[in-house]
Structure 1
Amino acid sequence: MQHFEPKEAYEFLQANPEAVFIDVRSEMEYMFVGHPRGSILIPWVDGPDWEINPLFVAHVRKAASVNRPIVLICRSGRRSADAGLALENAGLKDIYNVTHGFEGDLDDSHHRNSHNGWRFDGLPWAQT
């Protein structure tokens, strides 16, 4: 798995329109916090049980079809890295993780969106 800073991921997605951009956060995060434009939601972990989605790999395989690059994003880059490892363990290749994720790392005051991440970098996003 390769890792991209958010701006690098955006440039990669622009240069590779066949790539599939997957937001692995929960449905509630995707809807209420917002999400990168062009991403599709396939939760890695979701409510109500907050367990790993047993259909995650199957859904990603279907979304990626044949040999498309897969770019993963979550809130901070941790869940998407775990999801990427699961995909690699299932035999998928060409996996990319967005470091710092959509909201970025926590700052000294325990807030996000203050020094890195997709939204902090001003990249396109929407709120459903």
Structure 2
Amino acid sequence: MITNDRERKRTRPPSREPSGPARKTSAEEPETSGSGRVPAPQAMRNAARQLSELLGRAPQSVSALKPTDEGWEALVEVVELERVPDTSSVMASYKVVLDPAGQLMAYERARRYTRAEVDREGR
């Protein structure tokens, strides 16, 4: 059966999204605490998402996150070169600096290693 746009609009169920203050914020909208700093889980998501946009690679994990006077600092693990077997893939740890609102201010590659590599003491 072929329908036109007007018929589709009439048959659409009403939106069930909450409105007003009960509405949840999306990943794009920074959710800040009373101090103006995004909470740690939001900072982790922001670090991973924004680094992914810059590098064009999906992060594997956020391995560290700490608050700083200027916002947040995170270490994000990324696969730089996929190899077979998977344990020989080249990984990188990126240091990501976020402002208090969770926006990426700077990043740098801190370390490269193979996925199977285990940290040794003193490193």
Higher RCO structure (Cα 8 Å, ≥6 apart): 1
Q: TM-score range by the shorter chain?
A: under 0.3
Larger radius of gyration: 2
Higher fraction of strand: 2
User: TM-score, normalized by length of structure 2?
Assistant: 0.22
Q: Pick the structure with more helix per residue.
A: 1
Q: TM-score, normalised by structure 1?
A: 0.22
